Structure 1
Amino acid sequence: MTASAAAINAIEDVSFGPAASKRDWAAWTTVGADGRRRLELAVDNVDCAACMGDIERAAARIRGVASPRLNLTTRRLTVALERDDADLEGLLTALDAVGHPARPFDPALARGAASTEMRRLLTSLATAGFGAMNVMMLSVAIWSGNVTDITPETRDFFHAVSALIALPCIAVAGRPFFSSAWRAVRRGGVTMDLPISVGVTLATAYSFVNTLTRQQEAYFDSALMLLFFLLCGRVLDELMRRRTALEAETLAALRTDTAVKIEPTGELVETPASKIAPGDLVLVRPGERAPVDGVIARGASEFDLSIMTGETTPVAAVVGTEICAGACNGSGAVELRASRPASGSFLDEVERLLRAAGDARSRTRRLADRVARFYTPVVHLGALSTLIGWLAAGADWRTALVNAIAVLIITCPCALALAIPAVQVVAAGRLFRDGVLLNAGDAIERFATVDTVLFDKTGTLTEPERRITDLADIDPALAGRAARLASRSRHPLARALAMAAGATENASATEVVERPGQGVEGRVDGRRARLGSPTFCGVAATKLAAAEERRPRATFIAYREDDSEPTLIAVEQRIRPDARDAVAALRKAGLAIEIISGDRPDAVASVAAELGVGRWRARQTPADKIARLEQLKASGRRTLMVGDGMNDAPALAAAHASLAPASGVDVAQVAADAVLLDGRLKAVPDLLAISRCARSAMIENLAFAIVYNVAAVPIAVTGHASPLVAALAMSGSSLVVTVNALRLRSARAVSGGERRLVEARA
């Protein structure tokens, strides 16, 4: 084998294209918070919604592949793997067959590809602008001369110079549209770039023939102006999408690639963070960032948790404190017990949610995509009918062709295709800056129609950190065992007990099972133990009533070992500082408010009275919460459920719309339509207000796009719009919907402005 052949083979092996011989797919798959295996692929040649449909349909036909979702922001395809023998090589082959080569996603390569794409668009835009300005100057001279004293020879010379400038400029500036249209034609499909390419090509060819035959009219300026304005819209769209993606990259930059693992022998080994498994011990030195999510097992320090809470003030961290990946350690070295792998960390979930928000597919967007898909053949049929109609009416072929070209240009479906995605991308970025991540395709529309808000109490209206008030009265050994079991749960009450009792990892709980709405059970020091609600632990009703009478503001959890008498543990709650303002803002906006909690009546009543909420329900099981939601739904109400616990997950999934703080358990976040990254309730009225503005903008854009096309087609068909006027009208319509979407960035939030969730630090 020659050196050049070996080099070619080496390149093919790392390209992950069809020539690659074998891949370790396990290295590229991840497990999400919902337990499903996922694979992410970087896909080439993605230009519009039609490309998305082709790619997703091709992926859905592959064995073992489910739920394919393409993100236009990153040109990243995410698929769920339902079988261990999923045909992933066949997936790459299928994507290549529809004109979209793919490879396993690599962040570094993706950033390079995004930069290359932007440079390509900017080069095309600059070329179109240069050509349009110069040809337009010549065209103005020709138009002026046609009504004064220009000679035919001078006009023909100007047309020839225009052709020399326009032809290479159109070839370069139109490349993004021509290549996309050609790929669509080769596979027998249509995209919105096809009528654009046909219109530009016909206008250029017609003008070139007229120049050669010394005719009076040429439309090089129309073709270049059309490309220039289309590229302006495409660059703006790309910038909006990249802006949202950059928010996630800011968080991703906080991730560390390596970790110092503490082996069972005590040896310190530097290893890739991706190799850290749940249960591993990791050393985090002062000034370093946590490589994974975990719980402090030894040591004490202060951590900057601003990536999660938005607060830059360092927070004291002791044994039992939960630390998220990317949190910066302050003064002391600590040992961190990993609770999740790096691929499932808080930062990873934020990126996943943000990607989902950037590519959200709402009902309105799905409607717009379907209309755009069928619109292209209709446009071609309309242009052909215009050509035939004018010829049948006795017009010469030049007039008929010019009018057909005008129809093609003026009806390009760019405004229709941008109407919904532009709003969604801007809204997702605005909400992210306000501390909210969307997690569902139609979330914006559903948030916009909410008229009733139901709050869980514990951990939602109250702060997630609790204060154990009677730990000194409990046997220290018993409290320690209860804390070790509590350390295996993410529920706020369990975390409070683990921190207060100083849970250590010397003897961890085993066989741990979380019971939604009840508590957690497992084995500690050989004893079968339960920790959770008093009912779950078998506390007698009289004993619980007496304890509640002594501490009316406290919430009680219980701990029980084997068949011994259960122990009650009192936990005090503090209402979140912004809860009153959030409730007041929601009430001012005309929304009905309820508190629905699993806590006892006097505790719920106390919080409701302090917040001024008249309707509340206590001792609600997950089934009770769902029943209440169904009752409200039957009465015509559209509900927003805000909750953070595992027992809230069924209600979050059942509500019309749902929201969970980032401090809540994973199941609640997966079930919710959006996540409050910093836990501030002031973001709730802001979310609803911005969603309403976004929904209005979607409807306005869609209505404008439809009205524009209905009004523009007769004008072009009847010959009242030249190709230049058609180009200006069509480009202007695209800019109108884009500018209308950008208004969301300056929409006034209810709480009085934006908050930057994350500030990049050196």
Structure 2
Amino acid sequence: MTRDSCTLCGLPTPEPPVTGGDDVDGAFCCRGCMEVARTLEDPAAMDAAGAADSLDTGADTTDVDGEAAFLSVSGMHCATCEAFVEAQATDTEGVRAASASYPTETLKVTYDPETVDREAVRAAVDGLGYSATERDGDAAADDDESEVGRLLVGGFFGMMTMLWYVLFLYPAYLDVPSAAQLLDLGGLAGSYLLANVWLMATVVLAYTGYPLFRGAYVSLRAGHPNMDLLVGIAAGAAYVFSTATILTGGREVYFDVAIVVVLAVTVGDYYEGRVKRAAAGRLADLTEERVDDATRRRADGATETVAIEELQAGDEVVVGTGERIPVDGVV
């Protein structure tokens, strides 16, 4: 993780950072912050919330009528990205409202299907550092591949580390007689072993655990500590203590604790992400299948077709065979 911070939102910047050249001064964590900074006189004097408020993101999706679409948008890193993506969407003719969420990488768009089609809505958001696809499209698969890759790398090096613990380190910690131990930790071979354990633990924490530590940093900067911070403290403390122990000539290290914590939480986050994406996909399907009209029975016994917004409490709605029930009610 780099020590440099985004000029606009304060989050860590990648290496190399996103810059705007001569058009805008500063280094940014993402394209969204950089593009928003172009619209500000002094980006360094503006925080993420103020920058987001400076954008015209349109109406709330609950306040307008129209066709709803759910897009998967990768590349969002912060609240500024949310506002920027929403502004990009609502700048498109026919798009009435948009609501983005960077934790779930989801954009909900309400649009007029007679003015603009779904592909045009997706194209309006796609680009400038973001990749927009249908919610069940390639983005979810790419996310899965990235997370699985982190788990595979972490799992491999984690198993190698635990194997060395079981064969060499645990017997020494449990005071197994020296004659029964496979390796003397006090010699040069022991130092070589610990150096390799440190290296493999570093790979697990730096690569597999990077999203956890980044989440911990973001929560701390936002003033809302979360579970990532707790996990980061636990794993980081075990890693730092063990590293210091090796450097001072000690032999009792706890890299196994750091690795187990990171892998356990990463596996949990992976399955949680899959559940969230599945739920978002079902929500999108449900929204697409929602009906806009209902058949209401009048007092004279005749029926009429009305918009569901016109239904009142106590109205009798007629639902034919194979039709969807348009509103909640008593059957």
Normalised TM-score (structure 1): 0.26
Match of 1:226 among 261, 270, 278: 261
Indicate the residue corresponding to 2:121 in structure 1: none
Are 2:157 and 1:136 equivalent residues in the alignment?
Answer: no
Structure 1's 212 and 350: CA in aligned 2 closer, same or farther, altered over 3 A?
Answer: same
Q: What amino acid sits opposite 2:216 in the alignment?
A: A
Q: Which residue is equivalent to 1:576? A: none
Paired position in structure 2 for 1:175: 210
Which residue of structure 2 aligns with residue 243 of structure 1?
A: 278
Q: Match for residue 201 of structure 2?
A: 166
1:729-748 correspondence to structure 2 within 5 Å: none
**Aligned counterpart, 2:234:** 199
Gaps of 5+ in 1: 60-65, 80-101, 252-346, 354-436, 438-488, 494-516, 519-532, 535-555, 560-643, 653-659, 674-680, 682-762
- Report deviation, 1:158: 2.1
Deviation at 1:31, TM superposition (A): 6.9
Post-superposition Cα deviations, 1:43-84, rounded to whole Å, max 9, x if no partner, equal 8347xxxx9xxx99xx9xxxxxx9x895955444789xxxxx
Matches within 5 A, 1:301-700: 349-350=287-288, 490-492=293-295, 518=298, 533-534=299-300, 556-557=301-302, 649-650=312-313, 663=323, 668-669=326-327, 672=328
Give TM-score, length-normalised by structure 2.
0.54
1:18 alignment partner, SS class: helix
Give, in angstroms, the shift of residue 649 of structure 1: 4.4
For 2:76, the equivalent position in structure 1 comes to 44
Match of 1:316 in 2: none
Query: What letter is aligned with 2:171?
Result: S
Task: Please state which structure has a larger fraction of its residues in strand.
Answer: 1
Residue pair 1:40, 1:78 contacting (<8 A) in 2 also: yes
- Cα distance change of structure 1 residues 492 and 203 upon mapping to structure 2, 3 Å threshold: same
Q: Are 1:217 and 2:244 counterparts?
A: no
| Superimposed CA distance per residue, residues 508-538 of structure 1 (whole angstroms, 9 cap, x where no aligned partner) | xxxxxxxxx74xxxxxxxxxxxxxx32xxxx
Aligned twin of 2:150: 124
Equivalent pairs counted in the alignment come to: 243
Residue type matched to 1:132 in 2? G
CA displacement 1:629-662 (0-9 Å, x = unmatched): xxxxxxxxxxxxxxx988864259xxxxxxx999
Hey, what's the Cα distance between the residues in 1 that align with 2:282 and 2:303?
A: 42
What is the percentage of aligned positions where both structures have the same residue? 17
Q: 1:179 to 1:239 in 2, by over 3 A?
A: same
Q: Decide whether the 8 Å contact of 1:204 with 1:223 is kept in 2.
A: yes
| 1:129 partner amino acid | G
| Bigger radius of gyration among the two | 1
Specify the code of the residue in structure 1 equivalent to 2:76. D
CA contact (8 A) 1:40 1:104 kept: no
**CA distance change for structure 1 residues 30 and 190 in 2, over 3 Å: closer, same or farther?**
closer
Q: Distance in 2 between matches of 1:182 and 1:206?
A: 20
- Indicate the SS of the match to 1:218: coil
Partner of 1:189: 224
Alignment CA distance shift 1:558-1:157 (3 Å): closer
CA distance in 1, matches of 2:171, 2:144: 38
One-letter code of the match for 1:144? P
Deviation at 1:207, TM superposition (A): 0.6
Q: Please list, as runs of the form range in 1=range in 2, the aligned pairs for 1:281-300 lying within 5 A after superposition.
A: none
Equivalent residue letter for 1:137: L
- Letter of the structure 1 residue corresponding to residue 177 of structure 2: T
Structure-2 separation of matches of 1:131 and 1:558: 69
Per-residue deviation, residues 443-488 of structure 1 (Å, max 9, x unmatched): xxxxxxxxxxxxxxxxxxxxxxxxxxxxxxxxxxxxxxxxxxxxxx
Which segments of 5 or more consecutive residues in structure 2 lack a partner in the other structure? 1-19, 41-54, 87-96, 111-127
1:346-382 per-position Cα deviation (integer Å, ceiling 9, x unaligned): x7x337x8xxxxxxxxxxxxxxxxxxxxxxxxxxxxx
| Equivalent pair of 2:133/2:139 in contact (CA under 8 Å) | no
- 1:202 and 1:558 map into 2 onto residues whose CA distance is 70
Give distance in 2, aligned partners of 1:647 and 1:37.
18
Distance apart, 1:139 and its partner CA:
0.7
Using the alignment, how far apart are the partners of 2:311 and 2:324 within structure 1? 10
Give RMSD over aligned pairs. Answer: 5.3
Q: CA deviation at 1:490?
A: 4.5
Give the equivalent residue in structure 2 for 1:371. Answer: none
Q: 1:216 to 1:651 in 2, by over 3 A?
A: farther
1:391-442 deviation line (CA, Å, top 9, x unaligned): xxxxxxxxxxxxxxxxxxxxxxxxxxxxxxxxxxxxxxxxxxxxxx9xxxxx
Distance change >3 Å, CA 32–CA 44, structure 1 → 2: same
Amino acid at match of 1:127: V
Distance in 2 separating the partners of 1:217 and 1:558: 81
> Which residue matches 1:759?
none
Contact 1:491 1:646 in 2 (8 A): no
From the superposition, tell whether residues 490 and 117 of structure 1 become closer, same or farther in structure 2 (CA, over 3 Å): closer
Change (3 A) 1:103 1:168: closer
- Larger relative contact order (Cα-Cα within 8 Å, sequence gap ≥ 6): 1
Hey, what's the Cα distance between the residues in 1 that align with 2:221 and 2:308? 52
Deviations 1:319-352 (A, max 9, x none): xxxxxxxxxxxxxxxxxxxxxxxxxxxx7x337x
Q: CA deviation at 1:34?
A: 6.7
Shift of 1:109: 9.2
Deviation at 1:183, TM superposition (A): 1.6
Contact persistence 2:153–2:208 (CA under 8 A): yes
